Amino acid sequence: MSRRLTLTCCLALILALVAATLPPAALAGPALPAAPVIVLQQGLEGYAGAEDTFLTSWFPTTPQHHTDPLAVRADGAAVPLLRFDLSPIPSYAAITSATLEIYVASRGGIAPLALSAYQVLRPWAAEQATWRQATSAQAWELPGCNGIGLDRAGTAAATAELSAIGAWYALDITALAQAWQANPAANFGLALQGASTAAVEYRFWSAEHWATAQRPKVTIEYAFSGPTPTATRTATGTSTATATATRTATQTPTATPAPRALDAQALDMPLSIDGFLEDWTWVTGAPLVLNWETASTRYPAGPVSPSDCSLVARSQWDQEYLYFAIDVTDDVVQFDSRTEVIWNSDSIEIALDGDGDHVWNTAGPYDHQFAVRFDGYTEHVGRGSPEIIARAQLKGANEGYTIELAIPWADLLPSPPAFSGMVVPFNIAIHDDDTFGAYDAYLVWEGSGIGDAGRFGPLTCRGLGEWYLETYQQGLGGYQGVVDTTISEINKSANYADGGWLRVGYDGGRDIEENAALLRFSLPTLPYGAVVTRARLWLYAEGLYHSNPDLKIRAHQVRRPWSETAATWILAMPGIPWNRPGCNDPLTDIWPQPSDEFYVGSVGRWYALEVTKMVDAWARDASANQGVVIKGWSAGVRGYEFVSSNSLSYALRPRLELTWRYPPPTPT
């Protein structure tokens, strides 16, 4: 081998060794610049060009521009409008992609909804737009922005299917964004329409939502079609691309080992104990998963499918209550008997060792076991009678059920209230009954049974309050903001504003309401940014006007104004009737979905109705506060008399308890 060949080989070997030590980028040519990306989201890096509202046939003349969340309905009765100013996009840029994303926070019903986005063709004003008017001076061609070719386009610009809550959904609006960039004067935004095979409503956070990160956003990618921009340009958005893939929330148990602990998150968003788990979508941290593979104690010995018997549990807390949300998967949910032994039916159990001594003694004051059946019926083992709140909902045919539970700290702890970092030993179990009679499966999370306190897992309170409790009751501290009355089908023209009681009753034989109660509490203005986390309406049952005490009561938000001194079964205001007698029209008189419903069975005690969602709406928009109507139902003839705000028993008058807090800092 010649010296030249030897030298050439050595040089080649050296170059190969050097190349092997360098990163790939050092060997490649000049990197292609990433496509510029800007995110337009109200409040993000100073952007203030988003505005939205929604149009609703239920309030055809009332602007909804401060409503949060925005609603879209399958029946077309609620239509959101959104508009984004595109001026932060450089004039010499060519938009290559534009994606609108919305964060679905809650829904009414469980069916999917087909969402369609239509280009709006006429100007509208967010603070003036209603079902009938685009602005205060200009009506829609057809109510609800439905005039094709004049109000909006007839062909959808983008579509998406909404099927879960706590998830982002994306719509491709590239063509519209390109057109608006070319002609900014034509940018009147979008109208969102819904369609479904069932009655359903989905709600997404608006541009006014307190958490900036969950407001609607448009992510735009663009290429440079003109001069190269200089490094001194200040972007209104961000150069970091955000994910546009739709995230689907799920609580389906898997074979992944469950954590042997559970964190309770400090309550920082509105929570209504109604059995629906839409209020839990923002709870972070790993849930507790209980199925045959994760259970410490199993019956039977052979495997039980997660689709037949499993649960996912989450927890929250505030200074008054410990909360649980339990999502049960069960392919056969059946009803043995309301008086049947609860442990032989489809149900869950929770055990709490309040004093943390890991010794189970239900004769003592701090060890409690709660069993909750799939229909919300609850039994307690332990000392005293804790004023727990339990609500349950069926998820659908062969799917299972959900449970929400609120347990007062005062009944659990030696020294309430709770505090961040506090640890409470606890356990959870599930019973499954597929064949009537005794249960067919029983799974316990920790230990040999639900009361094996020495092996309880830790429940740790995480996060911080502080929560503030406001109590409103006529005469308390000089408060005079309550108006209430009874409206009676028996005496249709009578007004009971001066009565000392509120009657609620039902005649199951005739299948009609006998009496309903109207109440309204004026709410003082809360501090700016305050979040209502819980609200409960307390009514004291003083007597019966029919002998049988078993009556289901429910609370509905009222839609229209009414007068305490003029309201009757027929009239809401002087000369203005209810659209359906008895405050019963679901489009104009009341919201059809009750905020709470349960059976009352005795007198001489308080009953609490969950009203968080309606009170949260009132706190944000005082004009929405038209109060609440309490209605009853029974298969027989039942009637209760609750103490009114006119009663001489001051301490027994209706009271509204409202818990609020300042929002936690938005994560950065």
Q: What is the pLDDT of residues 202-217, one digit of tens each?
A: 999 999 887 788 899 9
- pLDDT average, residue stretch 487-496: 96
- 259/417: higher pLDDT: 417
DSSP string for 629-651: EEEEE-SSEEEEEEE-TT-S-GG
- pLDDT average, residue stretch 187-204: 92
Q: What is the pLDDT of residues 445-460, one digit of tens each?
A: 999 999 999 999 999 9
Report if pTM > 0.85.
Answer: no
CATH of 262-462 among 2.60.40.1190, 3.30.1380.20, 3.30.70.890, 3.30.420.310: 2.60.40.1190
Q: Cα(404)–Cα(627) distance, rounded to whole angstroms?
A: 25
The vertex-640 CA angle with 637 and 641, nearest 5°, equals 145
- pLDDT average, residue stretch 350-364: 91
The reply to whether CATH 2.60.120 applies to domain 468-661 is yes
Q: How confident is the model at residue 70 (pLDDT cuts 50, 70, 90)?
A: very high
- pLDDT average, residue stretch 495-499: 95
- pLDDT average, residue stretch 389-412: 91
Measured from the Cβ of residue 44, the count of other Cβ atoms closer than 10 Å reads 18
DSSP-derived pairing of the beta strands 551-557 and 571-573: unpaired
- What CA–CA distances, in Å, run from 52 to 55, 190, 191, 623? 10, 9, 10, 19
Q: Cα(542)–Cα(558) distance, rounded to whole angstroms?
A: 25
Say which CATH architecture domain 37-224 belongs to. Sandwich (2.60)
Which residues lie below 8 Å from residue 138, measured CB to CB, with a gap of 6+? 122, 123
Q: Cα(192)–Cα(233) distance, rounded to whole angstroms?
A: 34
**Cis peptide bond N-terminal to 365, omega within 30:** no
Tell me what percent of the chain is helix, strand and coil, each rounded to the nearest 5.
Answer: 10, 40, 50
pLDDT value, residue 29: 39
Q: Are 360 and 415 in contact (CB under 8 A)?
A: no
Instruction: Compute the mean pLDDT over every residue in the chain, rounded to the nearest whole number.
Output: 86
pLDDT value, residue 65: 82
**Which residues, listed in sequence order, are joined to residue 40 by a DSSP beta bridge?**
218
pLDDT value, residue 622: 87
pLDDT value, residue 461: 95
Q: How confident is the model at residue 530 (pLDDT cuts 50, 70, 90)?
A: confident
Two structure tokens written together for 440? 């067919």
276-282 long-range contacts, Cβ below 8 Å, gap at least 24?
276/393, 276/402, 276/404, 277/325, 277/327, 277/402, 277/404, 278/105, 278/106, 278/107, 278/165, 278/166, 279/106, 279/325, 280/314, 280/316, 280/325, 281/105, 281/106, 281/165, 281/166, 281/249, 282/166
Q: Cα(639)–Cα(484) distance, rounded to whole angstroms?
A: 18
User: Any idea where the domains of the chain sit in the sequence?
Assistant: 37-224, 262-462, 468-661
Q: Cα(124)–Cα(602) distance, rounded to whole angstroms?
A: 54
End-to-end alpha carbon distance in the chain:
66
Two structure tokens written together for 379? 């039994």
Separation of CA 186 from chain center: 36
pLDDT value, residue 658: 94
Does the structure show a pLDDT above 90 at 321? yes
pLDDT value, residue 224: 64
Helix ranges (H only) for 534-576 are none
Fold match between domain 37-224 and domain 262-462: no
